[in-house]
C-alpha cells in the first residue's frame, strides 16, 4: 500500500486551538525507495485543512 491514512481520537470539547501529530515511516520502509516530491494532506472530520509538500532524496 503506497499511502497510509491515520486517525487520532480527541475528546470532545470547545477548544480555541489544538495540536495533534502523525508520522510517515520512511527510513527502512517502502517509501524510502520512491524518491521525489511527496505531499501530506490534513483533514479533520473530512474537511480539508492544509497540504504540505516534501521531498525524499535517494534511498535510506
- pTM (two decimals): 0.61
Segment 16-44, tens digit of pLDDT: 777 777 777 888 888 888 899 999 888 88
**Between these two residues, 2 and 8, which has the higher pLDDT value?**
8
Confidence band, pLDDT 50/70/90 cuts, at residue 2: low
Task: Tell me how far apart the alpha carbons of residues 53 and 60 are, in angstroms, rounded to a whole number.
Answer: 19
Helix (H, G, I), strand (E, B) or coil at 23: coil
Cell of 22: 502523525
Amino acid at each position: 500500500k503506497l499511502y497510509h491514512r491515520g486517525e487520532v481520537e480527541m475528546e470532545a470539547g470547545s477548544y480555541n486551538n489544538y495540536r495533534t501529530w502523525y508520522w510517515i515511516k520512511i527510513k527502512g520502509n517502502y517509501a524510502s525507495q520512491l524518491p521525489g516530491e511527496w505531499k501530506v494532506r490534513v483533514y479533520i472530520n473530512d474537511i480539508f485543512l492544509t497540504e504540505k509538500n516534501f521531498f525524499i532524496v535517494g534511498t535510506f
